Each structure stands twice: as structure tokens, then as C-alpha cells.
Amino acid sequence: MDMHSGGGQKLEWSCIYIEAPEAEARVIFQNAFGRDPDNVTCNCCGQDYSVTESFSLAQATGFERNCRVLKTPRLPDGRYDNDNPVMRAHGYLEEGEAAPVGFEVHERRRFGAYVPLDVYVKRPDIKVIPAAEIRSEWRSS
């Protein structure tokens, strides 16, 4: 995700999703776009991009698409169980998708209406690079 550090967006897309493990995706990003994903354009603003690895494209985009979200379970001592594997794979739910057994859902919408994945990825400010479209020359560091 472009963080707009230094006051502007660096490429034509606000979010770029690369189907590869994070370390490999960083190399692919640099080779495909000629930009260091860890660059800091402005020291007061921080990094140019926020880079995270997700279980799937649906999960990676769940927040931006205004999906329902599972309530994070708590450990016996009251702390949140942030490493819960169910949360990683199913933290965001599509419309009509039931919560996994034993989990509750936040129904509150933060940004308006839900956006299906197939609609979201067609936005002009979104770039998705599926694994099958990653060029071999982008993989070398």
C-alpha cells in the first residue's frame, strides 16, 4: 500500500498485490516497478509503502473492501489471541459467509457498503500480479 509519504502517491496504483511470499514479493516489486519498497522519501512521513503478507488476496483486501470481521478471541489471561490461525485465514468474511465455529462477527461497517473481491480488483488504483504473471526477470535480486 502506498503510504503517500512525501506528499504523494509513487506509482499509478494505491495498492499493489503480488502473489508471492513477502521476501520474494519485495524483490519482484523492485524489479517490476524500479522502486525500493522499503524506501523512505520523507523522514518525517516514514516508509513509502506498507508491506504485509496475507493468507489470501481476499484476506489482504478485506479491510479496504469493508468486509465483516471476526472478533479476535481472548486468551485465558485476557490478552487478545492475535496469533490465532483461524483469524489469519478467515479474519475477514465475504457477504453471506458464516463465521467459523466458536467465533463472533463484528457487523459494524466502517466505510459504507461491502465490495466484492472481483469488483475491487477492477478499480483503476488497484494492481494485482498473480503468480502466473510474474516474469522470471522480476524474481532475480
If pLDDT is split at 50, 70 and 90, which confidence band does 109 have?
A: low
| 28/140 Cα distance (integer angstroms) | 8
CB 33 within 8 A of CB 11: yes
Task: With a cut of 80, say whether residue 34 has pLDDT above it.
Answer: yes
pTM score, two decimals?
0.86
SS3 90: helix
For 2-15, the pLDDT digits (tens) are 898 878 889 999 99
Task: Specify whether the CB–CB gap between 60 and 25 falls below 8 A.
Answer: no
Closest C-alpha to 6, from 51, 50, 43, 49: 43
Q: Which residue has the higher pLDDT, 106 or 107?
A: 106
pLDDT at 2: 85
pLDDT tens-place string over residues 35-91: 998 888 888 888 888 899 999 999 999 999 999 999 988 999 999 998 888 888 889
Query: At 133, is the secondary structure helix, strand, or coil?
Result: helix
